Structure 1
Amino acid sequence: MPVAPNLSNFSEFLPGARFADRFAVVVSGQRLDVMTATGRAFADRPAWIGRLMALRNLLVRPFGLKTAVADLPSQQRRIGMFPLLSQTASRIVLGLDDRHLDFRLVVELKELGEGLQEVSATTLVAPHNWFGRAYLAVIMPFHRIIVPAMLARVAGPQG
């Protein structure tokens, strides 16, 4: 179940955000850094998520929304399909600004002690117009399935 974080705690990442949620997973017996954790979660997506994204892209293309890596600046570093905006030792901020909304995905790594680490993904969204608010409402049920599924890959077996 997602947690609704305090938006003021994340205002530095996306001023004007009107939506936020946070999912977390505890990792045991591994020594991850934030880049490895983010890569495991978001660099490659399972086929079923790829199919959902392809459908999303087909449906929103007529509205002029960004639907492909080709729509992003070529010099910008990405993790999976998400542009990398900033990085510290314990936090990576991914995100994109578009006509209908801006979003940020804040991945944080926290040491819990005794060989445990928490990896969390906080999503922030700032809709710009009615279309952005409608888009957010439509994708939210999928978001609540996709983000935890991708985050769970951090703690899963690596091969």
Structure 2
Amino acid sequence: MRVEAVAPEPALAELLPGAAYADAYRAVTELRSLDAPSAARRIMGRSPRWVRLLMRLRNALVAPFGLKPGHEGDPDHVGIFPVLSQSPGCVILGLDDRHLDFRVAVEVVPAPGQRRRITVTTLVRPHNIWGRVYLKVILPFHRLIVAAMMAQAEKS
């Protein structure tokens, strides 16, 4: 599955007014029956080993600064991310924290040839210097992680 960066849909800006950062990644899959909740579970609910190791390191490094670690395994979460809303076409994940708020939208829509187009959009609103520093540090990793995580959508 080829993952490409695309412009975020302007309508998604309402998910997090005042977001200082937004990106979106898109891929097309042959999985005809894929909907947004199952895509979100496939993408966010499991990670390549190197991503899990990075997340453990992240959790250890940010704990002294008061950033919340993920809560994997909670029924109202997909992976480590809290589910804010879901429908067959779109799942919104997110968290409001002391240093920053974020939203992740996983959208699945029909594509030509009975395929499905998956788009993952991330929005981040830092609140203070720590949120801005955190965002600047994680962005290079974020871009790599999103592509690797989206590749999980086609794995059963």
Is this a same-fold pair by TM over 0.5? yes
Partner Cα distance (1:138, 1:4) in 2:
22
Q: Helix, strand or coil for the counterpart of 1:30?
A: coil
CA distance in 2, matches of 1:125, 1:43: 20
**Residue of structure 2 equivalent to 1:2:** 5
- RMSD (Å), alpha carbons: 1.7
The answer (yes or no) to whether the contact 2:110–2:116 under 8 Å persists in 1 is yes
Q: How does 1:34-113 map to 2 (within 5 A)?
A: 34-69=36-71, 77-113=76-112
Cα shift at 1:29: 4.6
From the superposition, tell whether residues 114 and 50 of structure 1 become closer, same or farther in structure 2 (CA, over 3 Å): same
Tell me, what secondary structure is at the counterpart of 2:33?
coil
- Give the match for residue 14 of structure 1: 16
Kept in 1: contact 2:37–2:87 (CA 8 A): no
Change (3 A) 1:68 1:32: closer
What's the CA shift string for 1:43-80, capped at 9, x where partnerless?
A: 1122211110111111111111102429xxx7x70011
Mapped contact 1:111–1:117 kept (Cα < 8 A): yes
Percent of aligned pairs sharing the same letter: 46
Q: In structure 2, the residue corresponding to 1:96 is in which secondary structure? A: strand
- 4+ runs deviating over 4 angstroms: none
Question: Partner residue of 1:126?
Answer: 125
Secondary structure of the residue that 1:86 maps to in structure 2?
strand
**Structure 2 stretches of 5 or more lacking a match?**
none
Maintained 8 Å contact 1:2/1:144: no
* Structure 2: distance between partners of 1:90 and 1:39: 13
Separation in 2, partners of 1:101, 1:142: 17
Helix, strand or coil: the match of 1:69? coil
Paired residue total:
152
When the two structures are superposed, what TM-score results if normalisation uses the length of structure 1? 0.88
